[in-house]
């Protein structure tokens, strides 16, 4: 059986890594990996293939950046060509990016069944491009792998047939367990940045709702600069945010107080996460990684898809509307008791369950 796996953005390389290893262990299954080229810088793409031992993609479509219509449209055109040539039995897509949407649409129009990993998540905010991508992908997919019980509930409410839904846990948990165990030996990030464990905050920012709104972006960075009066704040800077900081005139004296670094590889990121006092981020994946390593988290958004982390006390939502709100949320999370323990994300063998299905 031939399975075409479509990836394109940083979090998808990490998710695909563990599934790719599980597929390789089954001689009856052949993986054809297709990279749309949505992310293309070395530290946003190639570094993950090198470090995580993912085979070189069979295709790189080189699509790159563009408006939603342009980027997704170009992916559709190129993916259709690849799928017609390869004729896979299944197409596997991950998450909620434009690469996910294009992969799902291209396949379904060719009557190739689609499997969606990380199905069923909802923010209920249709202004997020990811929300539109998820809803459309889930409704054309034939096999929907949900990471949490809530994912299943969301899909049932939308009328997805129960037989198509599989609750298998979260592949990001598999990845964090597997690569997390290697991070101490394979990364010297703390040494390079002269950080001591639990003595710094790790932050990331890349959501358009924060980067493309000057007031939110300034509040967020000025809030982190206030936090930096007490803790070092390490911030691997997403390329979208680099552009936004220049455009929105975020004050230099705020930026100068932060340890802003280039995006890092996954092993370096895991080491930074494992040893942080707290993580402040608008990332989807990083909220969960904070929990995997039992580090408190502040989510710099209006809402989250991963509500179980808020309900259990590991995560708190802070819309970055003022600098004071950001600084207060970080201080409150640092002072709060630990959250409740639970196995929210499965047994660490989600990739095997996917391959079995
Ligand atoms: C995309 C996903 C988002 C995901 C994120 C992970 C969509 C709609 N968004 O957002 O869901 O959370 O990836 O990081 O699919 N750029 C570079 N170099 C790169 C990649 C991007 O310079 O290697 C710049 C480009 O100028 C581009 C901008 O970053 O315009 C945004 O990239 P894009 O892939 O469109 O969206 P992300 O913000 O990365
Ligand atoms: N990540 C990384 N290096 C970085 C920032 C993030 O390896 O400099 C990893 C992070 O550990 C997580 C994934 O990238 O596994 C999250 O990606 P991102 O925040 O870009 O996207 P999202 O999860 O919000 O879609």
* pLDDT tens-digit readout, 50-87: 999 999 999 999 999 999 999 999 999 999 999 999 99
pLDDT bracket for residue 277 (50, 70, 90)? very high
Is the CB of residue 14 below 6 angstroms from any atom belonging to ligand 2?
yes
Is the CB of residue 98 below 6 angstroms from any atom belonging to ligand 1?
yes
Q: Which distant-in-sequence residues (6+ apart) come within 8 Å of 144 by Cβ?
A: 115, 116, 119, 120, 138, 155, 160, 164, 165, 166
Which ligand gives the minimal distance to the CA of 35?
1
Is residue 176 predicted with pLDDT exceeding 90?
yes
> Is 111 tagged catalytic?
no
Q: Which distant-in-sequence residues (6+ apart) come within 8 Å of 208 by Cβ?
A: 129, 240
Is residue 23 predicted with pLDDT exceeding 90?
yes
The protein residue with its alpha carbon nearest to ligand 2, atom 24, reads 283
Is the CB of residue 240 below 6 angstroms from any atom belonging to ligand 1?
yes
Here the tokens at position 305 are 């898809």
Here the tokens at position 76 are 């559709």
pLDDT bracket for residue 282 (50, 70, 90)? very high
Q: Which distant-in-sequence residues (6+ apart) come within 8 Å of 257 by Cβ?
A: 225, 228, 229, 233
Q: By the 8 A CB rule, do 300 and 206 touch? A: no
Is the CB of residue 254 below 6 angstroms from any atom belonging to ligand 1?
no
Q: By the 8 A CB rule, do 154 and 122 touch? A: yes
The protein residue with its alpha carbon nearest to ligand 1, atom 36, reads 240
Q: Which atom of ligand 1 is nearest to the CA of 208?
A: 38
* Ligand 2 pocket mutation pick from 283, 295, 303 by most atoms within 8 angstroms of CB: 283
In this predicted structure, what is the pLDDT of residue 194?
Answer: 98
In this predicted structure, what is the pLDDT of residue 19?
Answer: 98
Distance CA 81, CA 310 (A): 43
Which ligand gives the minimal distance to the CA of 14?
2
Is the CB of residue 39 below 6 angstroms from any atom belonging to ligand 1?
yes
The protein residue with its alpha carbon nearest to ligand 1, atom 5, reads 9
């Amino acid at each position: 059986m031939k399975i075409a796996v479509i990836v394109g953005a940083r979090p998808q390389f990490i998710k695909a890594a563990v599934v790719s290893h599980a597929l390789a262990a089954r001689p009856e299954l052949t993986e054809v990996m297709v990279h749309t080229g949505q992310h293309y810088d070395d530290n946003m793409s190639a570094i993950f293939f090198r470090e995580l031992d993912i085979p070189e993609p069979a295709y790189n479509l080189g699509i790159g950046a563009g408006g939603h219509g342009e980027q997704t449209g170009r992916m559709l055109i190129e993916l259709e060509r690849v799928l017609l040539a390869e004729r896979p039995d299944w197409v596997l897509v991950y998450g909620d990016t434009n690469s996910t949407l294009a992969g799902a649409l291209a396949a379904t129009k060719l009557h190739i069944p689609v499997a969606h990993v990380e199905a069923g998540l909802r923010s209920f905010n249709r202004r997020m491009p990811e929300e539109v991508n998820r809803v459309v992908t889930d409704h054309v997919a034939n096999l929907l792998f949900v990471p949490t019980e809530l994912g299943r509930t969301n899909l049932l409410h939308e009328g997805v047939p129960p037989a198509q839904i599989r609750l298998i846990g979260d592949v990001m948990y598999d990845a964090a367990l597997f690569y997390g165990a290697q991070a101490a030996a394979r990364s010297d990030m703390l040494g390079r940045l002269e950080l001591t464990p639990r003595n710094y905050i790790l932050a990331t920012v890349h959501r358009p709702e924060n980067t493309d709104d000057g007031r939110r972006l300034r509040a967020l960075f000025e809030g982190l600069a206030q936090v930096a009066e007490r803790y070092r704040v390490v911030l691997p800077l997403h390329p979208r945010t680099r552009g936004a900081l220049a455009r929105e005139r975020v004050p230099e004296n705020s930026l100068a107080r932060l340890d802003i670094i280039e995006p890092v590889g996954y092993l370096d990121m895991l080491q930074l996460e494992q040893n942080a006092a707290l993580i402040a981020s608008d990332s989807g994946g990083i909220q969960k990684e904070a929990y995997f390593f039992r580090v408190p988290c502040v989510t710099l958004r209006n809402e989250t898809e991963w509500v179980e982390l808020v309900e259990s006390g590991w995560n708190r939502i802070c819309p970055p509307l003022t600098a004071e709100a950001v600084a207060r949320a970080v201080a409150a999370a640092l002072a709060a008791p630990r959250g409740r323990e639970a196995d929210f994300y499965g047994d660490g063998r989600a990739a095997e369950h996917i391959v079995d299905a």
